[in-house]
């Protein structure tokens, strides 16, 4: 099994059917679904809740999240409608396709500057530190109005928050550190608003400063952890499939479809999404009882042979639309257009600048992020010839 593929036990389950009982580490008995259609059905069904205080987590460590801890204001990922709707509606206006497309030239500039710096640093270099992480990190900082110079304040902190072995104490310490940082930043925006999203929320909405702080936290973490890992892991996948990379080089118009296919094939939300039944719900002839948590396996849904022909093959020419890499339903990723633009720009710029890009270490030496909630590579040492 290759590091791009979902783990064997999940694949075995999927071969037996779309829905299976699942024992959770905390002793809860819930369910896991491996089909694309069922994934979409559960994620779109208001009888299933995203609330933190109701859910059980499918991995040993709680990601430090304490279901019993009070929810910080503004953390809209863990809310159901209508509470969720209020935040989502406010934010949607700032994440329109048109608005985000307008950022493309700036994203292009950031990618080129990262490549300049990488070239100056010399071959070999770690693609994560020089390229995959700084692009989305810089972009989300500029969008929110967070000083990029403060990135050391939040990059290591957010990494602690998505590490599976982080204790509750470490998680809360990281969360409090980040919350305090953002709270001060929001107060500064209130005193002196700029042309950025946090300022717009402070001056143009009815959100309290605490709520803006929570919203900002969610967007910052979601905005750089995910895309950074897609850029690095997608680059590794393309280097590992030279025929696909050659096709993309030969026809740059393939890039949009290539991004969708990489999102489908790699599915970095490796433990899926969780939803808890608010009442008894019939699924596939089975009753999911009120209070039971269903894990929606995003990686398996995106490898569903009923939905995608030859799903374990990376094929940049396929129509990969209909994947659930960004989720589905009311919680579908708010920043999905931004992620797509960042990936399109990053892959195109990288392979244009360094046609001879190659791994600088044997594959077995690459440390995969099996220890994180978001999959990827910890480091990606690459060699390249000066442009």
pLDDT digits (tens, 9 = 90+) for 40-86: 999 999 999 999 889 898 876 655 556 666 778 999 999 999 999 99
Least confident of 31-45, 150-164, 221-235: 150-164
**Which pLDDT does position 65 carry in this prediction?**
59
Q: What is the mean pLDDT of residues 203-226?
A: 93
Q: What is the mean pLDDT of residues 231-249?
A: 97
Flag whether pLDDT at 234 surpasses 80. yes
Token pair of 246, please?
């050659």
Q: What is the mean pLDDT of residues 156-170?
A: 85
**Which pLDDT does position 185 carry in this prediction?**
96
pTM, two decimal places: 0.96
Q: What is the DSSP string of 51-65?
A: -GGG---SSSS-TT-
Percent of the chain with pLDDT over 90: 84
Q: What is the mean pLDDT of residues 122-143?
A: 96
**Which pLDDT does position 61 carry in this prediction?**
60
Q: What is the mean pLDDT of residues 186-213?
A: 96
Flag whether pLDDT at 216 surpasses 70. yes
d(CA 2, CA 23): 26
d(CA 187, CA 98): 30
Q: What is the mean pLDDT of residues 334-352?
A: 97
d(CA 305, CA 386): 42
Domains of the chain: 8-383 (1.10.630.10)
**Which pLDDT does position 353 carry in this prediction?**
96
CB 225 within 8 A of CB 122: no
Compute the residue count for the chain: 387
d(CA 303, CA 316): 15
Token pair of 105, please?
């030239």
Flag whether pLDDT at 247 surpasses 80. yes
Q: What is the mean pLDDT of residues 184-201?
A: 96
Label residue 169 by pLDDT band (50, 70, 90): confident
In the numeric block, the tokens 């999404």 are attached to 273
pLDDT digits (tens, 9 = 90+) for 18-43: 999 999 998 999 999 999 999 999 99
């Amino acid at each position: 099994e290759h590091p791009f593929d979902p783990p064997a036990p999940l694949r075995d389950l999927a071969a037996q059917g779309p829905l299976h009982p699942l024992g959770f580490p905390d002793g809860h008995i819930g369910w896991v679904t491996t089909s694309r259609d069922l994934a979409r059905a559960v994620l779109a069904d208001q009888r299933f809740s995203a609330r933190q205080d109701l859910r059980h987590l499918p991995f040993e460590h709680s990601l430090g999240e304490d279901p019993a801890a009070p929810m910080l204001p503004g953390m809209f990922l863990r809310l159901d409608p209508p509470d969720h709707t209020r935040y989502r509606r406010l934010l949607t206006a700032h994440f329109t396709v048109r608005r985000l497309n307008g950022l493309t030239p700036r994203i292009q500039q950031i990618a080129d500057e990262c490549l300049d710096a990488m070239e100056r640093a010399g071959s070999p270099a770690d693609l994560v530190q020089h390229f995959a992480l700084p692009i989305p990190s810089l972009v989300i900082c500029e969008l929110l109005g967070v000083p990029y110079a403060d990135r050391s304040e939040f990059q290591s902190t957010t990494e602690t928050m998505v590490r599976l072995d982080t204790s509750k104490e470490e998680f809360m310490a990281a969360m409090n550190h980040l919350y305090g940082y953002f709270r001060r930043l929001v107060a500064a925006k209130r005193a002196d608003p700029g042309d950025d999203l946090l300022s717009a929320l402070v001056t143009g909405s009815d959100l309290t400063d605490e709520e803006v702080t929570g919203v900002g936290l969610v967007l910052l973490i979601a905005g750089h952890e995910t895309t950074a890992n897609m850029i690095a892991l997608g680059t590794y996948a393309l280097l590992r499939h030279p025929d696909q990379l050659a096709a993309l080089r030969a026809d740059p118009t393939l890039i949009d479809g290539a991004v969708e296919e990489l999102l489908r094939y790699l599915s970095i939300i490796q433990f899926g999404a969780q939803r808890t039944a608010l009442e008894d719900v019939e699924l596939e002839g089975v009753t999911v009882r009120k209070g039971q948590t269903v894990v929606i396996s995003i990686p398996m849904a995106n490898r569903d042979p009923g939905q995608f022909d030859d799903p374990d093959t990376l094929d940049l020419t396929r129509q990969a639309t209909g994947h659930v890499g960004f989720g589905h339903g009311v919680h579908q990723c708010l920043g999905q257009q931004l992620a797509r633009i960042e990936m399109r720009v990053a892959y195109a710029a990288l392979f244009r600048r360094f046609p001879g890009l190659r791994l600088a270490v044997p594959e077995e030496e690459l440390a995969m992020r099996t220890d994180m909630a978001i999959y990827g590579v910890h480091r990606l040492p690459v060699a390249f010839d000066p442009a």
